[in-house]
Amino acid sequence: MTCYIRGLRAVAMSPARPTDHTETSTMRIRDITAYPVSFPIPADKTVSLGIGRAVKRDAVIVRVQTEGGLVGWGESHAGRAPGAVAQLVNTTLRQLALGMEATDVVGIWDRIYRMQLASHGMGAACAIAMSGLDMALWDIRGKAVDWPVWRLLGGHDRPIRAYAGGVSLGHQPPAELVEEAQGVLARGYRALKLRLGDNWNADATRVAAVRAAVGDGVDILTDANAAYTLDDARRVMPTLDDNGVGWLEEPFPPHDHRRYAETRTFGRTPLAAGENHYTRFEFHRLLEDGVVTVVQPDLSKTGGITEGMRIAAMASAWKLRINPHTSLTGLNVAASIHMLCSIDNPGYFEADVSRHNPFRDQLTDWQAEVDADGNVRPPSGPGLGVEIDEAALAAFPVIDGPGYV
């Protein structure tokens, strides 16, 4: 056939080829299953943070299988209600995505958005639940073409700076905290995050003690876990400035925009937030306000890899780096590093150095390891490059109740 366009020379075009469904049918989603899992924290390994003392940890593991037999794995954050998040995946999201092409990550994301988030408001539960599903779909996409996710996303295998985080470095006496910090640095880390939110005076004492012990060559970051008052932030800021702290993370709840803006005037230490912001629509205001300059989406909360890449692109337009908050298993950890290897504005990767995390140590077949320069690299296998020990899932039955007391 010939196509004529006014003002241009005619261009000969071949008839459109009929769509071949033989190949794509094997990629249709056959099943979706979410597994809520928990483990208790022994009393001698517990850590106190601004939100309380950690007594257990939870996660939701999402398994997606295609008609052709490919299996992808993802991790949804537990959202303080792992059973409820898993139930949302196993019912509503399963019904919405079943039978769709597993490679159609944008289409599946948009369908869930239109059917759930757009019509019912930006609910955390749905954003969290769809995050694990989206992550599993990217795992399948990589396995289908035998590529790691970083390559699918247009990135490359490169070193990513890591800091020692997770549920660690909490409200110990200064001498104990210094000892733990020095142990972390001996493992190769060149940056660490201290937990604030006890009281501003004790927090300031701990920050100063760690800085005096580790010297100026180590980046110290801080996280108040939304436990501060405005007066706490005002009083602690001079110590953070004097000790060259890299950021003050979540001094207040994420919706408290006015207190964030006021705190920005108290000193030079940058403010960080994002782990409790859901989808690009909530990050839009965070970026436009210009108050928070350290952007921290969690791929198991904010909408998965698909949405994480959109948020990273938005932040890039403001010349801001992405420093993802990581969740609990090797799935989220791997996804976070894959994304950091695939964007033009990567910041820090948050490594989990918790004293007790069997999800990290037993549930998956891969762990992020820091090198002598304090960097990590992504897995090299197809997809996320991480597999779940399905037999091990049964060893972590869900535990109801709060994770912090």
Give the Å distances, CA to CA, from 263 to 195, 249, 276, 315, 340.
Answer: 18, 12, 19, 21, 29
Tens of pLDDT along the chain (405 residues) come to 334 333 333 333 333 333 343 455 899 999 999 999 999 999 999 999 999 999 999 999 999 999 999 999 999 999 999 999 999 999 999 999 999 999 999 999 999 999 888 777 667 999 999 999 999 999 999 999 999 999 999 999 999 999 999 989 999 999 999 999 999 999 999 999 999 999 999 999 999 999 999 999 999 999 999 999 999 999 999 999 999 999 999 999 999 999 999 999 999 999 999 999 999 999 999 999 999 999 999 999 999 999 999 999 999 999 999 999 999 999 999 999 999 999 999 999 999 999 899 999 999 999 999 999 999 999 999 999 999 999 999 999 999 999 999
Share in percent of the chain as helix, strand, coil (round to 5):
40, 20, 40
* Nearest Cα to Cα of residue 189 among 370, 58, 353: 370
Q: What is the pLDDT of residue 122?
A: 63
Domains of the chain, CATH where assigned: 29-148 (3.30.390.10), 156-382 (3.20.20.120)
Q: What is the pLDDT of residue 121?
A: 65
Cα separation, 284 vs 87, in Å, equals 29
Cα separation, 157 vs 159, in Å, equals 7
Q: Are 49 and 354 in contact (CB under 8 A)?
A: no
Strands 11-12 and 160-165: unpaired
Tokens in use for 130? 């769809």
CA 72 from centroid of its chain's CA atoms: 18
3-state helix/strand/coil string of 205-263 = HHHHHHHHHHCCCCEEEEECCCCCCHHHHHHHHHHHHHCCCCCEECCCCCCCHHHHHHH
Cα separation, 379 vs 335, in Å, equals 9
Give Rg (Cα) of the chain.
Answer: 22
Q: Hey, is 308 helix, strand or coil?
A: helix
